[in-house]
Copies of this chain bind each other. A is one copy, B any other.
Amino acid sequence: MKKLHVELGDRSYPIYIGPNLIGQPDLFRRHISSSQILVVTDETVGLLYLQHVVEQLAEYQVSTIVLPVGEVYKNLATVGQLFDQLIEARFSRNATIIALGGGVIGDTAGFAAACYQRGIAFLQVPTTLLSQVDSSVGGKTGVNHPQGKNMIGAFYQPRCVIADTSVLDTLADRELSAGLAEVIKYGLIRDADFFCWLEQNIQLLKGRDADALAYAIEISCLTKANIVSEDETEAGIRAILNLGHTFGHAIEAGMGYGSYLHGEAVAIGMCQAADLSRRLGFLSDGDVDRIISLLSSAGLPVAPPESLLASKFLELMAIDKKNIDGNIRFILLETIGQAKLPCSVDLNLLDETLNEYGRI
């Protein structure tokens, strides 16, 4: 087992990475300070792992809730259900929520933990590659608004992240690829060497080679932990983690939450961001080709949905969280391995990217 550390003063916490971690009750116990626990999961993960996790927690008063699967349920109504259950069970301010699932479960359960009685403890137990390398680390919790992704939420750090690499064995191929999109993101924004390593090892990763996956998760979490430690609430550098997300969130909201996986939408968005970076004179044609090629090899879509027109993109991106006073701002790439802070761009070039990149 590897142990990384997210340094945030009195909100610091460890990330455990390794095989068979959800079978180790000691890991859980270390971060639970009361008898009351609510385990939040979804139907897919619940069938596979809920009983196993609950068995580790035999000495606690455990309540469970199994949510339907999908981004479409990451909303305020679901958070309301979690509040109902917490109150119904008479859970105190020292109770603990365990989020057992992918990003939707972690974000939703984490936001409920942030708000129930103004904040109770929570543990992230991410079960998808995407949540292990990205959403479970860093304390961004929240839910979607029908008109905008993650528009309602809180910065609220977990007590620990338990990333069990064995559970990835049961992950659908499509979900594995979606996770690889965020892994590739770390190479693009901050680590050219890692990007090269990914180019060389993408087939091993797709083939679920345990060592390759463990290495990719570790490097990804390390990069994320470092960036979050530098800038917890995204006043500056943390924004580069949103490479591709401005376009990606528009795809998710515009096509209906759940029709594209988050990682798929981000993959397309990163290609659009690369194309826009090229038009602004930062990336070469060759750089953009390498990026598209790696994402494509990872099994990801690289062209925007045909039905999502440029005008709709613009409308949806007008409510992105990085905007200031209504101006759309983007994370762009200086080079492969180095992202720029959010900036506004020439609207003509943006139009070109939206109308030309990936359009037939």
A155 contact set on B, CB distance < 8 A: 118-119
* Distance between Cα atoms of A324 and B151 in the complex (Å): 33
A200 at the interface (CB under 8 A from B): no
Q: Is A326 positioned at the interface, with any CB of B under 8 Å from its CB?
A: yes
With A76-B80, A319-B87 as known contacts, state yes or no: A94 contacts B152, CB within 8 Å: no
Chain B residue nearest to A75 in the complex (CB):
B80
Instruction: Determine whether the beta carbon of B154 is less than 8 Å from that of A233.
Output: no
Decide if A312 is an interface residue (CB 8 Å cutoff). no
State which residues 80-115 of A face B: CB under 8 Å: 80, 83-84, 87-88, 90, 92-94, 114-115
Bound: A83/B319 CA distance, A: 12
B325 and A92 contacting across the interface, CB-CB below 8 Å: yes
> With an 8 A cutoff between CB atoms, is A36 at the interface?
yes
Q: Are A325 and B35 in contact (CB under 8 A)?
A: yes
Judge whether A90 and B151 touch: CB under 8 Å. Answer: no
User: In the assembled complex, which residues on chain B have CB atoms less than 8 Å from the CB atom of A142?
Assistant: 115, 118
Q: Do A319 and B94 touch (CB < 8 A)?
A: no
Chain B residue numbers with a CB within 8 Å of A115 are 115, 142, 152-154
- Tell me the minimal C-beta distance from A88 to chain B in angstroms: 8
CA distance A293 to B147 in the complex (A): 55
Residues of A within 8 A of B (CB-CB), count: 39
A154-B119 CB under 8 A given contacts A76-B80, A323-B92: yes
| Chain B residues with CB under 8 A of A322 | 93
How distant is A342 from chain B, measured CB to nearest CB, in Å?
11
Residues of B within 8 A of A324 (CB): 34, 92-94
User: Is A174 interfacial (CB-CB < 8 Å)?
Assistant: no
The reply on A126 being an interface residue by CB < 8 A is no
B residues in contact with A83, CB < 8 Å: 76, 145, 151-152
User: Whole-angstrom distance from the CB of A107 to the nearest CB of chain B?
Assistant: 11
Select A116's contact among B34, B93, B119, B151, beta carbons within 8 Å: B151
Asked whether, in the complex, the Cβ of A87 is within 8 Å of the Cβ of B147, the reply is: yes
Does A140 sit within 8 A of B, measured CB to CB?
yes
Cβ–Cβ < 8 Å partners of A152 in chain B: 83, 115-117
Interchain CA distance A84-B326 in the complex, whole Å: 16
Q: Which residue of B lies closest to A86 (CB)?
A: B151
Q: Would you list the 5 A-B pairs with minimal beta carbon distance, nearest first?
A: A117-B321, A118-B153, A92-B323, A115-B152, A87-B147
Apart from A90-B319, A117-B151, 15 more pairs, CB < 8 Å: A83-B151, A83-B152, A87-B148, A87-B151, A87-B319, A88-B147, A90-B326, A93-B321, A115-B153, A115-B154, A117-B321, A118-B155, A119-B154, A119-B155, A119-B233
Which A residues fall within an 8 A CB radius of B? 34-36, 76, 80, 83-84, 87-88, 90, 92-94, 114-119, 140, 142, 145, 147-148, 150-155, 233, 318-319, 321-326
- In the assembled complex, 7 residue pairs joining A and B whose CB atoms fall closer than 8 Å, in A order, are A36-B326, A93-B322, A115-B154, A117-B321, A118-B140, A118-B142, A118-B153
